[in-house]
Amino acid sequence: MKAKIYPSIASKTAIRLPSSKSLSHRAIIAAAIADGTSHITNIDYSVDIEATIEAMKHLGARIEKHPHSLTIEGTSDFRYDKEIIDARESGSTLRFLIPLFTMCDDIISFTGSKRLFQRPLNIYEELFQNQGLTLKYTDDGIMIDGKLKSGDIEIKGNVSSQFITGLLLTLPLVDGDSIIRIIPPFESRSYVDLTLEILNIFGIDAYYQDEYTIIVKGNQSYKAIDYDVEADYSQLAFFASLGLINNDIEVLNLNSNSKQGDRVFIDIAKKMNGIIQRDDKSYLFKKSSLKAAKIDLSDCPDLGPMCFALACMADGESVFTGALRLRIKESDRIAAMECELRKLNQQIESDEGTVIVKGKRPLIALDTLDSHNDHRIVMALSILATVSENEVIIDHAEAINKSYPCFFEDLRKCNIRVELYD
What is the DSSP annotation of 47-98?
HHHHHHHHHHHHTT-EEEEETTEEEEE--SS----SPPEE-TT-HHHHHHHH
- Which residue is catalytic, options 302, 370, 374, 410? 302
Tell me the one-letter amino acid at 185.
P
- 79-111 in b/e form (b: 16+ CB < 10 A) is ebeeeebbbbbbbbbbbbbbbbbbbbeeebbbb
The rounded distance, in Å, linking the Cα atoms of 189 and 160 is 10
Crossing angle between the packed helical segments 304-311 and 233-245, to the nearest 10 degrees: 10
> Using alpha carbons only, what angle is made at residue 59 by residues 58 and 63, rounded to the nearest 5 degrees?
75
- The number of beta carbons lying within 10 Å of the beta carbon of residue 152 is 10
- Phi, psi (5° rounding) for residue 37? -110, 125
DSSP-derived 3-state class of residue 262: helix
Q: Left (φ > 0), alpha (ψ -120 to 50) or beta: where does 230 sit? A: beta
Active site (annotated) includes residue 302:
yes
- 324-346 in b/e form (b: 16+ CB < 10 A) is bbbbbbbbebbebbbbbbebbeb
The answer to whether 19 touches 406, Cβ cutoff 8 Å, is: no
Active-site residue set: 302
